[in-house]
Structure 1
């Protein structure tokens, strides 16, 4: 399994970077009034998030970005927010709205990484630097922060193989990948295939439109019909929402003993399914690490400062090379380490996980008190 940078260590790093940004004038551009930009605190940072189906965006990302922008601007900075609700055309219009509002920098988590390219170009033409957040948008983005997406696929697939053990080729695997419009989905899939190919029999594989659980459920019903419910020994699901749809389809088909099913995002419902033994694992991605870095990048770019203390690598998109990049590692969550990961990091409390429906399962898993 992958190891993850400790939350405390990253928090120290975030604070250290914030101090550097506040104190460092050497990273600023010169000769164009950038000294004033570097001192400016009443910045407007635009934040465009893609949807509301995944709880992370409004529960974690938005408030964490707002908090860090506030810290970096002595409470004077403002986050101007909009959510596209899975509509790429709407998000393009939202970029134009942000340009009209004259934001100082823009953070975009693209609905469709290719479709947003023209809007990113328009922002750059207007002099607004763009941070690609969580998904690598096309166009002239200035910086990118995400998790190590290929490693997510590796972690998911290795966990599935660990669970199957010597029975890995005794039946068929179904792969439920994410949306084709999301470049992250391709990276998850690439990492998963690197682990699974040759070690399991992949009976059916799907790219799931819009990542929607109902679309995953429909795909799974097709797979069950084609392969037979008793022949499916495992399901690679790229995230927790789709894992829920997969489980719904398997139960509706009369499968009483569910095969191991992967996930990602450690959504509360996913964690509860892990406790109950319905879902085998999820991937924990610490939004408390990723989101503040996006805010740091945006504030630094708005001030004309260097990203050298924030970015730890570079990434190429289909339209731009050598994009300054910060990648955050991930960790697999299974029943046995829920307490030491999502509970210990404060993502959920025991009480939030162990509602009345899951009390007995929580007690069995040692999740009490």
Structure 2
């Protein structure tokens, strides 16, 4: 499902909006959002206008992962406003409910928004609603989680992130002086409905198996729920013949559930996570969690915002690469350990959020300020 965007007859006010977005996209491509390669616009060459009322629907999946409300939404709104001050963002959060998100997509289509930016709870559950968007020639951006039929996709290279996570497990074992072949490793994966979780799992398994690791247990965490992760690990610790030498956790939330179970059982093991959330970073500084994965959200939100404004104006953005035949921009990610927490403190992660209570002294020791 792809739309012929260039054949659309858009009103002139939306064309004016595109000119401003084209300049912004070009600047993003040149600056690369730091170290990132940016997307460009294939048609518009110049212009300084940012006039034109357009409405862009931003549909995010859940709020248990703190990034969506605290980083994705405000950054997306910021960059849309920069590209077109008259553009409106219609925001909805599905609260991990696929049916609710389907209704939100249908509502956006019925309202006649000019573009939809969607991070799906379950891509298969919104397919019928997306076909309605196609029928109305409303362009759709796949944000963070890929789904077929998108006009543009921006995320992180999720299999590569899985490779980084697997390597972090190996590095954590090495730091403890533990042979990765000396005992079982368990995997606490993400939500099976989330295509990113499958990529994380595939990448981590690839790296771990290449090192000769025995993956003795694997669990897909429903809805990314830390309590589901905790319950599974508790059951494993009660029934397994041997304690794990490491537990891969797909994100910092599930890592928190893992740690709740291992601490209760007084089992010490290497635990890793993802997303560089405050709780995860605090666990790293305490020495409870070995590593997380830092993903800079503002560049991703900026890519999506500039593409959305361009698509709303009837133009087709280009990515720096393609993923499954879809124009794509990936944002780089990196492993964070206790020694490197200080290196990621800035606009996205603030020291005052991490360094509270008993963690303040640990921040001082780690140079986090």
Cα shift at 1:181: 0.5
Q: Evaluate the alpha carbon distance shift between residue 297 and residue 195 of structure 1 in structure 2; reply closer, same or farther with a 3 A threshold.
A: same
Partner of 1:148: 157
Alignment of 1:293-308 (within 5 A): 293-308=303-318
Q: Does 1:85 align with 2:95?
A: yes
Q: Helix, strand or coil for the counterpart of 1:115?
A: helix
- Could you tell me how far apart the structure 1 residues matched to 2:197 and 2:117 are? 20
Partner of 2:322: 314
Return the match for 1:283 from 286, 293, 296.
Answer: 293
Partner of 1:176: 188
Q: Helix, strand or coil for the counterpart of 2:78?
A: helix
Where does structure 1 lack aligned partners over 5 or more consecutive residues?
1-7, 28-37, 317-321
Cα shift at 1:245: 0.2
- Give a deviation string over 1:105-156, Cα, whole Å, max 9, x none: 0000000021111111111111210001000123x22111110100110001
Where does structure 2 lack aligned partners over 5 or more consecutive residues?
1-29
TM-score (norm 1): 0.85
Q: Does 1:323 align with 2:343?
A: no
Partner of 2:358: 357
- Give a deviation string over 1:200-246, Cα, whole Å, max 9, x none: 11111011111100010011112212325x62110110100000000
Q: Contact between 1:285 and 1:329, CA under 8 Å: does it hold in 2?
A: yes
Partner of 1:107: 117
- Could you tell me how far apart the structure 1 residues matched to 2:337 and 2:66 are? 20
- Could you tell me how far apart the structure 2 residues matched to 1:133 and 1:201 are? 34
Q: Contact between 1:120 and 1:141, CA under 8 Å: does it hold in 2?
A: no
TM-score (norm 2): 0.85
- Could you tell me how far apart the structure 2 residues matched to 1:11 and 1:157 are? 27
Cα shift at 1:303: 1.1
Partner of 1:162: 171
- Could you tell me how far apart the structure 2 residues matched to 1:157 and 1:16 are? 28
Q: Work out the number of aligned pairs and report it.
A: 335
Cα shift at 1:14: 8.9
Q: Does 1:65 align with 2:76?
A: yes
- Could you tell me how far apart the structure 2 residues matched to 1:16 and 1:132 are? 16
Partner of 1:261: 271
Q: CA RMSD in A?
A: 2.3
Q: Contact between 2:51 and 2:86, CA under 8 Å: does it hold in 1?
A: no
Return the match for 2:105 from 95, 98, 101.
Answer: 95
Partner of 1:347: 348
